[in-house]
Amino acid sequence: MSQLLCRAGEFLLRFHHVLPPLILAVAAGVILPRYLVRSSWAHRAPRLTLGLWGLLVLVLTASLSLAVLQFFFPVAESPRFPEAAGGCFLTSGGRCVAVMLDGLERPSARAWAGFAAAVCPPLALALAFGRQVFDFRRRRARHAELLGMVGSWRSELRATVLPHTTPAVYCLPGRAPQVVVSEGAVHALTGEQLTAALEHERAHIAGRHHLLAAAASAFGALSRRLPLARFVRDEVPLLLEMAADDRALRRCSRRALAVALYAVAAGQAPHAALAAGGSSALLRMRRILQPPTERPTVLGVALLVLALAVGLPGLAAVCCSVPGPGI
């Protein structure tokens, strides 16, 4: 037992500089997501909550890269990290690497491996996002081609009308976005209700929500067991719909939008589209018809999380730069 404790102590003394970013990664990837998903105010301010989820993803990615970099760098060289990090903000490209390696007598293979490994977390996220965007564009192009054959443009609606009896309203975002509405929706909804549904879809297009949805799907696919990845994959699509609802309410009544959601809830949209209905329609209707009587104290919480997201990585870098005793 004493030998095991001795080895554990040696390990901590050798790799103590890796602990701060690892603790930060656990906080961003496990602890804070559970609090955010259970908070009562998250759905009251969907755009702000979307920003908080994005901050947690960025903090987790940066923390993992920092932990890997610190693991590969010897403790004796770790005091150079803040100086090198500061140089990276003032330089770019290859000069950043030169600043990091400047002063090291012999840049070893371990140091180069550390730089390569530190790039892996953001690179994996970027590749997954690119794959999602490529898949989306392929599906969108295929569906747009079908709409060109069976749909008809209605200038008074500023939308493409699809000959289908099931009420459905959705949009195909991208470089050439278009809103699609079925004939069933045109006949089932009043003018005000149809306008509300169309405004909801235009909010998706204006906010470029398809890119946020692709980013959430990409991050969720990287690690299905990580709480942050799981919650981002499940919560972001719902928050995007709520954000579009809030924007549509600027030009229509709550009742009109709620009735429109109810009417098109059963409508099916293609994979590359964002629909006004869907499985979240009931929750969103309740939110629209029963707005909160009190303003949530989101701003204070958001500022706290923002301060943690911005300040803790710097604090971790400073902590990591202090060599352990006797090393």
Evaluate whether residue 309 is within a structural domain.
yes
Q: Do both 138 and 28 map to the same domain? A: no
Evaluate whether residue 181 is within a structural domain.
yes
Give the structural domain span for 216: 117-293
- The per-residue pLDDT for 24 is 85
- The per-residue pLDDT for 192 is 92
- The per-residue pLDDT for 309 is 57
Comparing 218 with 274, which gets the higher pLDDT?
Answer: 218
Q: How far apart are CA 18 and CA 252, in angstroms?
A: 53
- The per-residue pLDDT for 85 is 47
Evaluate whether residue 211 is within a structural domain.
yes
Q: Are 45 and 240 in contact (CB under 8 A)?
A: no
Q: Do both 144 and 258 map to the same domain? A: yes
Q: How far apart are CA 292 and CA 285, in angstroms?
A: 13
**Exposure on the CB side of residue 185, measured as CA atoms within 13 A:** 34
Evaluate whether residue 131 is within a structural domain.
yes
User: In this predicted model, what pLDDT tens digit does every residue of 111-154 receive, in sequence order?
Assistant: 677 778 888 889 999 999 999 999 988 988 888 888 888 888 99
Evaluate whether residue 112 is within a structural domain.
no
Q: Count of CB atoms within 10 A of residue 94's CB?
A: 8
- The per-residue pLDDT for 147 is 85
Q: Do both 70 and 163 map to the same domain? A: no
- Percentage of the chain exceeding pLDDT 70: 67
Comparing 319 with 89, which gets the higher pLDDT?
Answer: 319
The total number of structural domains in the chain stands at: 2
User: In this predicted model, what pLDDT tens digit does every residue of 293-318 receive, in sequence order?
Assistant: 555 555 556 555 665 655 555 555 54
- The per-residue pLDDT for 326 is 40
User: In this predicted model, what pLDDT tens digit does every residue of 198-225 receive, in sequence order?
Assistant: 999 999 999 999 999 999 999 998 887 8
Q: In the numeric block, which tokens belong to residue 175?
A: 């470089």
- The per-residue pLDDT for 219 is 93
- The per-residue pLDDT for 216 is 93
Q: Do both 246 and 146 map to the same domain? A: yes
Please check the confidence at residue 172 and state whether its pLDDT lies above 70: yes
| Positive/negative CA dihedral, 133, 138, 141, 142 | negative
In degrees to the nearest 10, what's the CA dihedral of 77, 81, 86, 88?
90
| DSSP-assigned beta bridge partners for residue 159 | 154
Please check the confidence at residue 240 and state whether its pLDDT lies above 90: yes
User: In this predicted model, what pLDDT tens digit does every residue of 180-202 receive, in sequence order?
Assistant: 999 999 998 998 999 999 999 99
Evaluate whether residue 47 is within a structural domain.
yes
Q: Do both 175 and 144 map to the same domain? A: yes
- The per-residue pLDDT for 13 is 52
Evaluate whether residue 301 is within a structural domain.
yes
Evaluate whether residue 274 is within a structural domain.
yes
Q: Do both 59 and 191 map to the same domain? A: no
pTM of the prediction?
A: 0.79
Q: Do both 84 and 121 map to the same domain? A: no
Q: Do both 25 and 90 map to the same domain? A: yes
Q: Count of CB atoms within 10 A of residue 127's CB?
A: 12
- The per-residue pLDDT for 321 is 47
- The per-residue pLDDT for 269 is 59
Q: Are 120 and 68 in contact (CB under 8 A)?
A: yes
- The per-residue pLDDT for 238 is 93
Q: Do both 134 and 219 map to the same domain? A: yes
Q: How far apart are CA 320 and CA 80, in angstroms?
A: 10
User: In this predicted model, what pLDDT tens digit does every residue of 9-33 receive, in sequence order?
Assistant: 555 555 566 777 888 888 889 998 9
Q: How far apart are CA 19 and CA 22, in angstroms?
A: 5
Q: Do both 137 and 279 map to the same domain? A: yes
Q: Do both 41 and 148 map to the same domain? A: no
- The per-residue pLDDT for 264 is 85
| DSSP-assigned beta bridge partners for residue 179 | 171
C-alpha pair distances (Å), 267 with each of 57, 180, 250, 277, 279:
32, 12, 24, 7, 10
CA-angle at 254, arms to 210 and 261, nearest 5°: 50
Please check the confidence at residue 86 and state whether its pLDDT lies above 80: no
Q: Do both 64 and 24 map to the same domain? A: yes
